[in-house]
Chains A and B, each alone.
Chain A
Amino acid sequence: EIVMTQSPATLSVSPGETATLSCRASQTVGTNLAWYQQRPGQVPRLLIYGASNRAPGVPARFSGSGSGTDFSLTVSNLQSEDLADYYCQQYNDWPPFTFGGGTKVEIK
């Protein structure tokens, strides 16, 4: 099973600043990685697929990068609506599909 590890667990960022979230896989997943945003009380929403491709409707200030085992999600010009939990998920090798433990982004 591929284990996904996210860091940090919590990130506190001021509005307008940049948040960088990390995700590491226990073995290579190529670029078969997705990022999801889950706002409080809401359903997860696909942000990024293929490690770096934004899903339709996702603002350009969200960007994904990385390949192999190390990935990052960058949120530039942070807005109050970006308060959420963010999860990475690998789909290179299944079953199982595996998610990271999540990073909570707080607004300072």
Chain B
Amino acid sequence: QVQLVQSGAEVKKPGASVKVSCKVSGYTLTELSIQWVRQAPGKGLEWVGGSDPEDDAPITAQRFQGRVTMTEETSTETAFMELGGLKSDDTAVYFCTTDVHYPVAFDIWGQGTMVIVSS
């Protein structure tokens, strides 16, 4: 049974960077394409970036290009998302998610990581 367990909440100042982790269990990271989705308070879901399900190349939403870096550490089965140049409107819950049983439909989700950007 696949599980994604994320790191804890973060409070950052504007301009700083945050690195969120997503530890995989039940599968190996190389078998999965991890995506990152965020949700600002009271708002909808927004895809940030991840691994292309077809070739595992990194893919990023245009609005985050140059600010987000996604990495994977296979030795610990952990995926990371680092977002730099934080602004107050980056305050959101960040989820990692993946498609295990149904191609490209995200059926497994981490519990979410709250990132607060405040001076």
Judging by beta carbons under 8 Å apart, are A34 and B105 in contact? yes
B62 at the A interface (CB under 8 A): yes
Judging by beta carbons under 8 Å apart, are A95 and B111 in contact? no
Nearest opposing residue in chain B for A49, CB measure: B105
Is chain A's binding surface mostly helix, strand, loop or mixed? loop
A-B contact count (CB 8 A): 68
Judging by beta carbons under 8 Å apart, are A55 and B102 in contact? yes
Judging by beta carbons under 8 Å apart, are B45 and A91 in contact? no
Q: Which of A40-60 contact B (CB under 8 A)?
A: 43-46, 49-50, 53, 55-56
Chain A residue contacts of B101, Cβ below 8 A: 55-56
Judging by beta carbons under 8 Å apart, are B45 and A50 in contact? no
Chain A residue contacts of B95, Cβ below 8 A: 43-44
B91 at the A interface (CB under 8 A): no
> Known contacts being A34-B106, A98-B47, is A43 close to B112, with CB within 8 Å?
yes
Judging by beta carbons under 8 Å apart, are A95 and B59 in contact? yes
Per the bound structure, the CA–CA distance linking A45 and B106 in Å amounts to 8
B82 at the A interface (CB under 8 A): no
Q: Which of A58-101 contact B (CB under 8 A)?
A: 85, 87, 89, 91, 94-101
CB distance from B119 to the nearest CB of A (A): 27
Per the bound structure, the CA–CA distance linking A55 and B109 in Å amounts to 14
B16 at the A interface (CB under 8 A): no
Which B residues are closer than 8 A to A by beta carbons?
35, 37, 44-47, 49, 52, 59-62, 95, 97, 101-102, 104-107, 109-112
